[in-house]
Amino acid sequence: TIVKKILSKKIQKEGFKMNKITEVKIERGIPTLYVDGQPFWAFAGEVHNSAAYAPDRMEAEIWMKMDQSHLNTLIVPVYWETLEPEEGSYDFSLVDSLLEQAVRFKKKLILLWFGLWKNAESAYVPAWMKQDSETFFRAEMYGGERLNTISPLCWEAVERDAAAFSRLMGHLREVDKNSSVIMVQVENEVGLLGTERDYCRQAEEAFTGNVPDKLMDAAVKSGKIRARETGWPEKADWTVVFGEDAGEIFSAWFFASALERIASVGKKEYPLPCYANVWLKQFPWYAGSYPSGGPVEDMLWVWKAAAPSLFTIAPDIYVPYVSEIMEKYTRPDNPLVIPEVRKDAVTASYALYAYLNCHALCYAPFGIEDLWQKEPDVIPKEVTEALNIDPLSFDMTGTKETLGEVYRLLGEIKSLYLRYRGTTHLKCFLKNAEGEQGCYLKFKSYDMEIRYLPQQVGMPTAAGAVFELDENNFLIVGMMCNVCVHTKPGDHRKVDFIRKEAGTYSDGQWRCRQRQNGDEKIVTMLYDMPECVKMELFKY
Q: CB of 265: closest distance to ligand DGJ in angstroms? A: 23
Residues between 345 and 374 with contacts to ligand DGJ, criterion CB under 6 A: 366
| Minimum distance, C-beta of residue 185 to ligand DGJ, in the bound complex (Å) | 9
CA distances from 174 to 18, 168, 170, 490 (A): 11, 10, 6, 65
Residue 340 interacts with ligand DGJ (CB under 6 A): yes or no: yes
Q: Which of 22, 49, 179, 504 binds ligand DGJ (CB under 6 A)?
A: 49
Query: Does residue 469 bind ligand DGJ (CB under 6 A)?
Result: no
Angle of helix 155-175 relative to helix 93-104, nearest 10 degrees, comes to 40
> Of 179 and 251, which has the nearer Cβ to ligand DGJ?
251
Cβ 249 to ligand DGJ shortest distance, Å: 23
Minimum distance, C-beta of residue 120 to ligand DGJ, in the bound complex (Å): 10
Residue 387 as a binder of ligand DGJ (CB under 6 A): the answer is yes
Nearer to ligand DGJ, 255 or 420 (CB): 255
420 near ligand DGJ, judged by CB under 6 A = no
> Is the CB of 313 or the CB of 410 nearer to ligand DGJ?
313
In the complex, least distance from residue 49 CB atom to ligand DGJ, rounded to whole angstroms: 5
To ligand DGJ, the closest distance from the beta carbon of 114 in angstroms equals 8
Find the helix packing angle between 155-175 and 2-18, rounded to 10°: 80
- Applying CB under 6 A, which of residues 119, 349, 393, 524 lies at the interface with ligand DGJ? 119
Q: What is the 3 state secondary structure string of 498-534? A: EEEEEEEEECCEEEEEEECCCHHHHCEEECCCCEEEE
In the bound state with ligand DGJ, the residue whose beta carbon lies nearer, of 276 and 409, is 276
Q: How far is the CB of 183 from ligand DGJ (least distance, A)?
A: 16
Least distance (Å) from ligand DGJ to the CB of residue 47?
Answer: 10
Question: In whole angstroms, how close is the CB of 189 to ligand DGJ at the nearest point?
Answer: 5
Nearer to ligand DGJ, 171 or 342 (CB): 342
Site map (CB under 6 A) of ligand DGJ, residues 481-520, x = contact: ----------------------------------------
Closest to 404 in 3D by CA, of 357, 347, 452: 347
Reported as half-sphere exposure (CB side, CA atoms, 13 A), residue 99 has a value of 17
The full DSSP string for 369-418 is GGGG-SSPPPPPHHHHHHTT--GGGG--TTHHHHHHHHHHHHHHHHHHHH
Q: Partners of 181 in the beta sheet? A: 109
- Residue number, 220 or 387, with CB nearest to ligand DGJ: 387
- Residue 402, interface with ligand DGJ (CB under 6 A)? no
Total length of the chain? 540
The pattern of x and - marking residues 120 through 159 that bind ligand DGJ according to CB under 6 A reads: ----------------------------------------
Decide whether 329 or 467 has the Cβ nearer to ligand DGJ.
Answer: 329
List of residues 6+ apart from 205 with CB closer than 8 A: none
Whether the CB-CB separation of 253 and 302 falls below 8 Å is answered with yes
Closer residue to ligand DGJ, CB minimum distance, 57 or 221: 57
State the Rg of the chain over Cα: 25
Between the alpha carbon of residue 443 and those of residues 27, 440, 447, the distances in Å are 24, 10, 5
Q: Which residue, 79 or 446, has its beta carbon nearer to ligand DGJ? A: 79
Residues 130 and 137 sit within 8 Å (Cβ to Cβ): no
437 in Cβ contact with 462 (< 8 Å): no
189 binding ligand DGJ? (CB under 6 A): yes
DSSP track, 428-492:
EEE--STT--EEEEE-SSEEEEEEEPPP-TTSPPSEEEEEEEETTEEEEEEESEEEEEEEPTT--
Q: Distances in Å between the alpha carbon of 17 and those of 34, 99, 173, 309?
A: 15, 19, 10, 21
**Of residues 125 and 466, the one with the C-beta less far from ligand DGJ:** 125
DSSP 18: H
Residue 413 CA to residue 415 CA, distance in Å, equals 6
Provide, rounded to whole angstroms, the least separation between the CB of residue 434 and ligand DGJ: 26
Q: Which is nearer to ligand DGJ, 188 or 524 (CB)?
A: 188
Q: How many residues bind ligand DGJ (CB under 6 A)?
A: 9
Q: Using the rule CB under 6 A, which residue among 72, 179, 188, 357 binds ligand DGJ?
A: 188
Give the whole-angstrom CA distance, residue 410 versus residue 103: 23
Strand, coil or helix: 281: coil
Write out the residues near ligand DGJ by the rule CB under 6 A: 49, 119, 188-189, 316, 340, 366, 387, 389
